[in-house]
Chain A
């Protein structure tokens, strides 16, 4: 089972991101379960959502406590909450930021933290800084579990028309950026 935790702020599409990831996994024939951290959070408040992906039906209902991947949709959360809590030993982290991991002061973690300027990609492609679709593209590069094509399908299904096309473009660009970082690090 592969478990993902997504941190963001109310209004950033955190819950939608978890749902889309589960839909993408579903399209690849896997079982997936997405759920929010069930609060009454208002716009701007820290929000957490979870996604589990497995080859077998998922019965477990506890929150994701040892995530294999963490997505941080809002970089300001790094200073406010322990977003990396419980990260699995070989778990990976994707942060929405135009800065490098070193610039963010996250140089440790054996190079398991990556950044991608998802808000800027969204602004460029979609016209609004909604980073969730781009981050899903980046996550697809990191995890291999869900191919970019499945993410694209899930996004297109959820946002038909131009909005979907734009989000797909943002996701694809993020995928390639993260892919490039991965290559770079494997060569380093």
Chain B
């Protein structure tokens, strides 16, 4: 049954159907609506048995999730922006310990300057923390990916972040088919932890590991991520069979087969991008769009397969690495043979600046005409820059 529902509430209802046993929460915009809704579900008894723990920081939120997961509970939390950074140490710990925690990241910029609006700086900053990262294109995907995330996390014993654009998705009310409780139960078996804190079989979890084995631990972490590439694709197929609708697995190609130029992007900007490409296709510009659902692991082979012989790649980035440029671009360059292709980075929508069809059309027109530079900041306000420069001189 479809509902006209806020993205955050859709995610909360879906997470509840995944039957987490411990949910911990610390408020930060724009994630708060999700845990608020979950707190009501627990308090009212609709989600039971479940402990809802109001913690004193994001660091504690992840730590409570770590303890809960190690004790065999399905654990969930949500955060954004500064909160994700504040739990950074615990993120590495959760993945290092192989704890299948699922967390929503309501993507938001990182300060200073403080900014509560959407971009991908938060999740991208944690790209190497060993978590799987899945990005939702719309609220249907945001809901569905959580079901897939719990299954994936528990199968591989590794934590998964579901990234959904803050405000743009979390606060958007649109039609979502909530995953049915029966189907979720069919798709997501009971959590069987690989290791468990159990007096009947005491184990030591989190021992100190020296140079003699640390490299091997990291190698295995990489192997887990590579194993996830295959699992994500399979689980997406299985999701379709169970729920009767597709969920994007590793990548989602759109009009790529005959495209000269393929635009690669993550998250909610894909919708606007597809509308823009449709408009430009009418004018005869052979464009395609490739959405990345999985960013960690990086789906290099799926990308290579989807972009085919496209001569030009535009990577639309919602975050960037100062002093380098595009973050996704760098991964792409490392993963793909780029010889014979031109790769452009377009940094767009930082700190909530709207990414409009008009601006995208300008950039893509320039790309198709071969006049787009290697690194472009979309809608950069030159007047503001001159003003700032003048202030600095004074």
A38-B167 in contact (CB<8A) = yes
Q: Is A146 an interface residue (CB 8 A)?
A: no
Please, how many angstroms separate the alpha-carbon atoms of A27 and B175 in the complex? 11
Interface residues in B, total, Cβ within 8 A: 28
B167-A32 in contact (CB<8A) = no
Q: Is A22 an interface residue (CB 8 A)?
A: yes
**Residue from A27, A40, A58 in contact with B174 in the complex, judged by beta carbons closer than 8 Å:** A58
Q: A26-B4, A31-B175, A35-B167 are in contact. Are A62 and B355 (CB under 8 A)?
A: yes
Interface residues in A, total, Cβ within 8 A: 22
Set of chain B residues within 8 Å of A47, measured between Cβ atoms: none
Set of chain A residues within 8 Å of B30, measured between Cβ atoms: 38
Please, how many angstroms separate the alpha-carbon atoms of A62 and B167 in the complex? 12
A35-B116 in contact (CB<8A) = no
Set of chain A residues within 8 Å of B167, measured between Cβ atoms: 35-36, 38
B116-A40 in contact (CB<8A) = yes
**Residue from A19, A27, A31 in contact with B6 in the complex, judged by beta carbons closer than 8 Å:** A19
Q: A19-B173, A22-B4, A23-B173 are in contact. Are A65 and B356 (CB under 8 A)?
A: yes
A62-B356 in contact (CB<8A) = yes
B354-A22 in contact (CB<8A) = no
Q: A59-B138, A60-B271, A62-B354 are in contact. Are A32 and B6 (CB under 8 A)?
A: no
Set of chain B residues within 8 Å of A23, measured between Cβ atoms: 4, 173
Set of chain A residues within 8 Å of B174, measured between Cβ atoms: 22, 31-34, 58
A59-B269 in contact (CB<8A) = no
Q: Count of A-B contacts with CB under 8 A?
A: 69
Q: Is A147 an interface residue (CB 8 A)?
A: no
Please, how many angstroms separate the alpha-carbon atoms of A18 and B174 in the complex? 11
Set of chain A residues within 8 Å of B268, measured between Cβ atoms: 61
Please, how many angstroms separate the alpha-carbon atoms of A61 and B169 in the complex? 9
Which chain B residue has the least Cβ–Cβ distance from A40?
B116
Describe A's contact surface by its main secondary structure. Answer: mixed
Set of chain A residues within 8 Å of B354, measured between Cβ atoms: 62-63
A36-B4 in contact (CB<8A) = no
B116-A61 in contact (CB<8A) = no
Which chain A residue has the least Cβ–Cβ distance from B359?
A62
Please, how many angstroms separate the alpha-carbon atoms of A7 and B346 in the complex? 32
Set of chain A residues within 8 Å of B2, measured between Cβ atoms: 26
Proximity string of chain B (258-272) to chain A, C-beta cutoff 8 Å, 1 when within and 0 when not: 000000000011111
Least Cβ–Cβ distance between B138 and chain A, in angstroms: 7
Q: Is B146 an interface residue (CB 8 A)?
A: no
Please, how many angstroms separate the alpha-carbon atoms of A61 and B318 in the complex? 14
Q: A35-B167, A38-B167 are in contact. Are A60 and B175 (CB under 8 A)?
A: no
A61-B274 in contact (CB<8A) = no
Proximity string of chain A (124-167) to chain B, C-beta cutoff 8 Å, 1 when within and 0 when not: 00000000000000000000000000000000000000000000
**Residue from A26, A32, A57, A61 in contact with B168 in the complex, judged by beta carbons closer than 8 Å:** A61
**For residues 12 through 36 of chain A, which have their beta carbon under 8 Å from a beta carbon of chain B?**
18-19, 22-23, 26-27, 31-36
Which chain B residue has the least Cβ–Cβ distance from A62?
B356
**Residue from B4, B117, B168, B357 in contact with A35 in the complex, judged by beta carbons closer than 8 Å:** B168
- Which are the 10 A-B pairs with shortest beta-carbon distances? A59-B271, A26-B4, A38-B167, A34-B173, A35-B172, A62-B356, A33-B174, A19-B173, A23-B4, A61-B272
Supply 23 A–B pairs (Cβ within 8 Å), ascending by A.
A19-B6, A22-B4, A26-B2, A27-B4, A31-B175, A32-B4, A33-B174, A34-B173, A34-B174, A38-B116, A38-B167, A38-B168, A40-B29, A57-B175, A58-B174, A59-B270, A59-B275, A60-B357, A61-B168, A61-B268, A62-B356, A62-B357, A63-B356
Q: Which residues of B line the A interface, CB within 8 A? A: 2, 4, 6, 29-30, 116-118, 138, 167-168, 171-175, 268-272, 274-275, 352, 354-357
Q: 6 more A-B contacts (CB under 8 A) besides A23-B4, A60-B271, A61-B168?
A: A32-B174, A32-B175, A33-B172, A34-B174, A35-B167, A35-B173
